[in-house]
A and B are shown apart, each in its own frame.
Chain A
């Protein structure tokens, strides 16, 4: 709050100011035109320059910008070199590989949340290497995943995306190369070089909500109470972690190592086992597809392909309200005919 003058002493002073002004520049005829009750902007700082009304209580000129805004601008100026332009461009003092608000170079984009970390992404070289291992050398996905510590799902996704990229290159489609290059400088990256550690945990299992409770299970001290027993104690249908491993072949590999098998032999065995499991999975999927195709009758017309399937309308579940049951059932409304109810797809087929 600017200092204020008491009202009683205000008017005479203003008058005095403007009179002084007039006498000082008495040579100029325009000065006479200035009304006595309204001091001009050129008058001394004790007068109120911005106000157009005769009643002005403040002796200091009003600020053109608020304190908050000023501080904001100052902050921007202070951090311009580090944050404004991405690293690698002119006028940027930031190092490539992530500059964030979090203190002392930590990869925390949010200063208040230290639990969220900007983790490295796979570099373009790593993308190409994974694609080469899978598509050219024909390595099983699980083997590539175990070799570099990259999640199997990520390996599959990288291959999928690289295939699209290769297709675009062949079609000469325009790609966002400058954008990708700029982001490479902004993000921390992992090259999957031999010296680097694993990229991410590859054998993570979801924590089942049944296992989040604390149980007291009385057993004898001599009993071998294993992971399988613990799973059974939490619930009949709860599987032990051994059955939920994403790459169970890795456990066998480690078991071989513990037994003293030559690492190279164990490794070959592991690769063979993963290839075999992937082949088995593919065969299973193909068999399911074939079975579904056999149940289906396709009728090709000019415009549509009709696919007709045999449906048993009796299969409506124990309460008659099973989700995939078809046909009109007593007491079950057709939700698709209500006004204003639009259906958002829950999945998009490949």
Chain B
């Protein structure tokens, strides 16, 4: 039998809808259709339906755990209209032969006693099969949109980032009681729902040039010794020396490559270019395979200097940055004085706009130390997954939510967020009934 972990979580070939905000999942959700059940036996229909449904509803929960949670009692609610309750005692429904009197033709609709406030539709009980799952803490966190998947929500709980009623809760399977207030660490939520940090997306590029860039520029302007492809060695090196030289070159190449790989995120384009040039030179030297020691030394010196410059100590870096900041503030002060001398430079609206920009910057600042791209932006393909079910009341500013009550079915509405059609849900429900 194939292991569960070998199957693709978000596949196109064998699609399963999952509790995530993934774009593959969005596509699978879009093209999902209820399987064609006609040629299947009843057992097969139930088996397929249960498999699909469990792939979405708590696929990280073991089957026996879910079987113990399952309840055949599906909760529903009906709205009772106080105006109707005050005017009628219900006997009009039992009048006559037991099913109410016939309404005379031409009677106004407002004169017919009717309990208002409910949709004129059937109650979709079968969409409530997985209602007990929605009580779980990890799934409630996902539903409150604090995590991008149920598995991530589970990890938040396990890592101690979640409190219930102010106390740390480390059990993802904790079943919330009506009135429980759960709260997730704000930083975790921002990481989970924000754009990921990627070097090429420009999310974290600082507007001003950093000291590292200046170094790279200097590096570029220097005439590189290793670039000269001259091979003017008089003495013929022995084979052993040649082999040692080759080995050293290979080692150097490996070092440069590893450095580039490790620092790929931090390096700037110019620095990358410099390293690539060194690599190219090494390659040329290797292909010629002359035991030219000078060439090797030059390449090594260049690489070492590059690495040294890049790995400035934090204190040095800070000093450089402070100096830059000081220069900038001096410039700003000069500008301010200029403005005082000539007040026509900035209009009040421009001032307001600037103040607004400054406020938004203070609220959502650029901060490279964060694990997500700053300024914070919501992640891609998130909007079509955005909904808050009615059994939760969420305050997104403090990343806290209250589990108000258990989800219920109402006429025409079911509160359990399930992507499946009633037919499929009903088959899954039938599977979990004890005597099948």
Residue-wise interface mask of B (382-402) relative to A, using a CB-CB cutoff of 8 A (1 in contact, 0 not):
111111101001111111111
Contacts of B398 in A (CB 8 A): 161, 164-165, 168, 175-176
The reply on B410 being an interface residue by CB < 8 A is yes
Cβ contacts under 8 Å, A110 to chain B: 29, 417-420
- Chain A residues whose CB sits within 8 angstroms of the CB of B181 once the complex forms: 157, 160-161
Query: CB < 8 Å: which of A115, A119, A161, A176 contacts B189?
Result: A176
Chain B residues in 8 Å Cβ range of A165: 395, 397-398
List of A residues within 8 angstroms of B388 by Cβ = 118, 121, 187
User: Contact between B413 and A117 (Cβ–Cβ < 8 Å)?
Assistant: yes
Q: How large is the interface on B (under 10, 10 to 19, 20 to 34, 35 or more residues)?
A: 35 or more
Contact status B393-A161, CB under 8 Å: yes
Check: A38 CB closer than 8 A to any chain B CB.
no
Interface check B34, CB cutoff 8 A: yes
Set of chain A residues within 8 Å of B171, measured between Cβ atoms: 344-345
Select one of A107, A119, A162 contacting B390, CB under 8 A: A119
Across the interface, which residues of B come within 8 angstroms of A100, CB to CB?
384, 387
CB 8 Å contact bits of A19-42 with B (1 = contact, 0 = none): 000000000000000000000000
Say yes or no for A284: interface residue by CB 8 A criterion: no
Chain B residues whose CB sits within 8 angstroms of the CB of A182 once the complex forms? 377-378
> In the complex, A240 Cα to B415 Cα: how many Å?
25
- Given the known interface contacts A110-B417, A112-B33, the answer about A83 and B26 at a Cβ–Cβ threshold of 8 Å is yes
Q: Is the CB of B86 within 8 A of A72?
A: no
Answer whether A116 and B164 are a contact pair too, CB < 8 Å, given A99-B383, A153-B179, A241-B80: no
A side interface size, CB within 8 A: 89
- A271 interface residue (CB < 8 Å to B): no
Q: Are B376 and A348 in contact (CB under 8 A)?
A: no
- Complex contact B395–A109 (CB within 8 A): no
Interface residues of B in 331-369 (CB under 8 A from A): 363-364
Residues of B83-103 contacting chain A, CB below 8 A: 83, 85-87, 89-91, 94, 96-97
Q: Chain B residues near A254 (CB, 8 Å)?
A: 82-83, 85-87
Q: List 6 A-B contacts (CB under 8 A).
A: A113-B422, A164-B398, A177-B397, A205-B77, A345-B171, A350-B165
Give residues in A with beta carbon < 8 Å to B. Answer: 66, 68-69, 72, 75-76, 83-87, 89, 94, 98-101, 107, 109-113, 115-119, 121-122, 124, 127, 151, 153-154, 157-158, 160-162, 164-165, 168, 174-180, 182-183, 186-187, 200-201, 203-207, 209, 219, 221, 224-228, 230, 241-242, 245, 247, 250-255, 257-258, 344-350
- Besides A76-B23, A161-B393, 20 other A-B contacts (C-beta < 8 A): A68-B12, A68-B13, A83-B381, A84-B380, A109-B386, A116-B127, A154-B393, A157-B181, A157-B393, A165-B395, A165-B397, A176-B190, A178-B364, A179-B193, A205-B77, A205-B80, A226-B89, A254-B82, A344-B171, A349-B165
